[in-house]
A and B are shown apart, each in its own frame.
Chain A
Amino acid sequence: MFGYYLDLALRSLKRNKVLTALMVLAIAVGIGASMTTLTVMHLLSGDPVPTRSGTLFYPQVDPNPYSDGPSLPYDMMDYRSAVDLWSAHRADRQALIAHGQVKLTAPQVNLPPLMAKVLSTTSEFFPMFDVPFRYGRGWSAQDDASRARVAVISSDLNNRLFNGADSVGRTLRLKNSDVRIIGVLDAWRPSPQFYDVAGGRFAEGQTGDFYGRPEDVFMPFSSSSDINPAGFNFFTCWSMPKSGGTLQTSPCVWMTLWVQLGSAAKVRSYRQFVADYAAQQKSLGRFARADNTQLRSLMEWLDFNRVVPSDVRLQMWMAFAFLLICLFNTVGLLLAKFLRRAGEIGVRRALGASRAAVLAQCLFEAGLIGLLGGFGGLLLTLLGLWLVRRQPVAYADLVHLDTAMFLLTFALAIATSLLAGLLPALRASRMPPGLQLKIT
């Protein structure tokens, strides 16, 4: 049966080559556009920490003493709130994070000084986020407490400074201080850089930079604030900071806290802990609002900050509208094609073929068009992704076609063509055989 239908379908497709080419082209272009945008969307909306994102949470409080009205808490925390929550150690793991930059030179390496992006954090950052190391290891809680002059560097920086050699034990000069490298990360590329997406909802959809590379230097927050106290970025301030004051005492939010909570019960009790902390701070007169706290999970935090660039979403919707147009086009053409074969179908029916057989034959032909369109679509998808990779966007180097998307290309192409073929095939199979025989 299969061979017979294949033969019939091939004959039919060969009979009108231009029309066949038209239908295959329409499906290929529609699939190519849809799969290119869908692949980019799939990569950008993925889970950056697949092993444990469900257990990672982002606490927020509202430290603004003038806060009134229904505003949401700031995307980051002030120094005191963040450190208070962190040092309570109520979660399974917790890490403070502050962003900044520092002038970096490597002694005995003949390169001009560069401004390195620094992630100042605490020891549990690495185990909590499942960060892979190529050489060495992270630092300990003891190093945090003793303000040790140690650093972990990214594989990019290690390649640039040391040509990828094991640089553990070597020294970096950060601003005016020496720090010892104790670890080198493996190729680690969480996409998006989930710990760096605060403020995304204010970015007007231009969030492509969230998919950039991790920081060059990771070091204990305590040591970082000793070495380069003015090198931190702040998120915003609720009133004008005092001139010459430090960020630690400023009315600004600039630190974030991530916590790992292994069970729903722990999440509940941590939520309560944050609320209690806010209430306590309100009674001390430091907070205006105790009810303005949040504990979002990692994926909720990404959604809240709308990390997928709006242009990527728009492109995907455009591509699907386009695929829909291609679908209508194919339905129209298949309908004309099948109905024109009314005579032939009439003969088959008169000779004993059942309606189901005619339906199956028509659908087989449609599916074959879909398969051919799928091959064309795959080539166009690869071309489309190649074009995306050439764009000056931070995620360009991440873009590739994975197995799931490869299979989806064909599934989508065949599904589209079967959907397109269903209505014309039903029409064709319903034609009364006698009438058709009489006319011709």
Chain B
Amino acid sequence: MQIRPILAALRKHRLATFLISMEIALACAVLCNACFLIVNRVQQIDIHSGVDEGALAAIKLTGFDDDRGVDLNARVLNGLAKIQGVQSVSVISAVPFSGSPNNAGITTDAEGKQFTGVVNFYSGGPGSFKALDLQLTAGRAPQEGDYQPVIHFVPDDAQVWITQSLADHAWPGVDPLGKEFWVGKPHFRVAGVVAHLARPSPGEGGPSTIDWSVFVPSQPGAHFAGTYLLRASPAQLPRVLRDARAAIAKIAPDAVLDTTASQSVASLRESFFQQDRTMASILLGVIAAMLLITALGIVGLASFWVAQRRRQIGIRRAIGATRADILRYFQTENFLIVSFGIALGMLLAYALNLLLMTHYELPRLPLAYLPIGALALWGLGQLAVLGPALRAAAVPPVVATRSV
């Protein structure tokens, strides 16, 4: 295929060529970054909570008198355990995605100088570690003696279980077992590491810290009451939860059931990521509309050029060019225009990513997105130009003999 005549023809239509290339460049920049944003959102939605979501539900009570905590725990643990199908009931401070975090900054020295980060503390009563089904990767499971009364917001001197990602952050490359950390006075020693345990809501520090949790075995009491973890088989969980919510009215008439927080962990997760799902689908919609508009623009312009060059096409056909030659001419022309656009678009994509990075704490755009965006636009261009190009190829040689 001769490229020189195509370039010569395009030089005649510099402005139109430039415009369509710019459109493709912008589309390329938006496409790469929007895809990257979508992948980011989907990764957030797909995080491992580390708990057996399908089998767990939370019951949250508020409004009871402060001195009734011990009594309330006894009544609820007893009452809910009687519901048919309940495998276990335990006291817990919060569950993943429930949105009531217990955040505190930790230091790896007693003087409070070596600041590690803001982490979430889960207090869990006897039975909760097993009910959550946390995957132990190092150390041992909590034993009876580990459950201590809550003095401040957690026990004051406790054996704790931390997540792998927190261990990697606090003590990179070192065995975290037996390591100590502090929150002011209260002191903690790592007795085990679990694969994952997502915090109840994203904390300071962005999505990378979603897994910075500490599990503290705690003895239920006056300062640790009101939120309960129910475990049942996934098939029975909806009924168990319904029964449990109904039973609370009789078991604890002095308390108020927090209906939005008293849900299965699966539905808490669902509403927790609602925003991200919406955003991902909006981005998908923008990409689809943008590609459609770009394709229509190519179709429109190519159709015009075909109509404008009918006579020239006829002449070329009359002096021996085949239909395939004409078809290929328009396809190559489109390929060249789209290529100009993509070259510019990659720079724009990069610039747009830099802009997004400063405003939205996004990571750098991986280079792999650029060729994918380029391929998509080349494909789109070829698809869009096919119709007009076929029409051009169908121009009969006899057109050359007619004056328009």
Contacts and interface: CB of A to CB of B under 8 A. Distances in A.
B307 interface: yes
Contact of A328 (B23, B307, B308): B23
Interface in B135-153: 151-152
Contacts of A440: 404
**Of A29, A208, A336, which is in contact with the most chain B CB atoms at under 10 Å from its CB?**
A336
A29 B258 contact: no
B293 interface: yes
Contact of B183 (A112, A240, A313, A332): A240
Interface stretch (B77-85, B163-171, B273-281): B273-281
B7 interface: no
A113 B259 CA distance: 12
A318 B23 contact: no
A340 B310 CA distance: 13
B209 to A, nearest CB: 10
A319 B183 CA distance: 45
Given A26-B297, A243-B152, A331 B19 contact: yes
A22 B299 CA distance: 10
A115 B63 CA distance: 7
B371 interface: no
Contact of A326 (B186, B293, B299, B301): B293
A311 B356 CA distance: 12
A29 B289 contact: yes
B286 A336 contact: no
Interface stretch (A50-58, A198-206, A219-227): A198-206
Interface string B330-369: 0000000000000000000000000000011100000000
Contact of A332 (B16, B37, B207, B249): B16
A315 B26 contact: no
A321 B297 CA distance: 16
A129 B19 CA distance: 52
A329 B292 CA distance: 11
B30 interface: yes
B319 to A, nearest CB: 21
B186 A332 contact: no
Contact of A329 (B249, B293, B305, B359): B293
B21 to A, nearest CB: 9
Contacts of B186: 240
A392 B19 CA distance: 40
A336 B300 contact: yes
B62 A328 contact: no
A423 B15 CA distance: 9
A322 B16 contact: no
Contacts of B20: 328, 332
Interface residues of A, number: 54
Contacts of B300: 19, 22-23, 329, 332-333, 336
A423 to B, nearest CB: 7
Interface string A146-181: 000000000000000000000000000001100000
A202 B204 contact: yes
Contact of A391 (B278, B299, B301): B278
Residue from A23, A331, A423, A440 having most chain B Cβ neighbours under 10 A: A331
B26 to A, nearest CB: 5
A202 B103 CA distance: 13
A322 B294 contact: no
A325 B23 contact: yes
A115 B62 contact: yes
A381 to B, nearest CB: 14
A92 B271 CA distance: 44
Interface string B248-261: 01000000101000
A13 B341 CA distance: 29
Interface in B210-235: 223
A321 B275 contact: no
Given A204-B206, A392-B271, A335 B289 contact: no
B63 A328 contact: no
Contacts of A324: 26
A245 B279 CA distance: 44
A321 B26 contact: yes
Interface string A233-267: 00000011101000000000000000000000000
Contact of A311 (B27, B204, B275): B275
A319 B290 CA distance: 10
Nearest to A208: B275
B355 to A, nearest CB: 9
Interface string B282-323: 110010011001101101110111011000000000000000
Interface string B19-53: 11011001101100010010000000000000000
Given A241-B152, A321-B26, A328-B23, A340 B304 contact: yes
A243 B286 contact: no
A239 to B, nearest CB: 5
A319 B359 CA distance: 17
A325 B301 CA distance: 15
Interface string A379-394: 0000000000001110
A251 B361 CA distance: 32
A30 B26 CA distance: 14
Nearest to A204: B202
Contact of A101 (B37, B62, B307, B359): B62
A115 B257 CA distance: 9
Contacts of A26: 293, 296-297
A115 to B, nearest CB: 5
Contact of B26 (A239, A243, A328): A328
Interface in A390-406: 391-393
A208 B151 CA distance: 35
A311 B290 contact: no
A217 interface: no
B258 A115 contact: yes
Contacts of A29: 289, 293
Contact of A239 (B184, B271, B275, B359): B184
A259 to B, nearest CB: 29
A332 B301 contact: yes
Given A243-B152, A325-B26, A114 B256 contact: yes
Interface string A77-99: 00000000000000000000000
Contacts of A175: 63
Contacts of B204: 202
A364 to B, nearest CB: 21
A199 to B, nearest CB: 10
Given A240-B185, A325-B27, A331-B19, A392 B289 contact: no
Given A33-B286, A322-B290, A427 B15 contact: yes
A348 interface: no
Nearest 9 interchain pairs by C-beta: A103-B63, A329-B297, A336-B304, A328-B23, A332-B19, A240-B184, A333-B300, A325-B26, A115-B256
Interface of B: 15-16, 19-20, 22-23, 26-27, 29-30, 34, 37, 62-63, 65-66, 151-152, 183-186, 202, 204, 206-207, 223, 249, 256, 258, 271, 274-275, 278-279, 282-283, 286, 289-290, 293-294, 296-297, 299-301, 303-305, 307-308, 359-361, 404
Given A204-B206, A336-B305, 9 more contacts: A19-B304, A22-B296, A26-B297, A103-B62, A113-B63, A204-B207, A329-B23, A332-B297, A337-B304
5 contacts: A26-B297, A319-B286, A325-B27, A328-B26, A332-B297
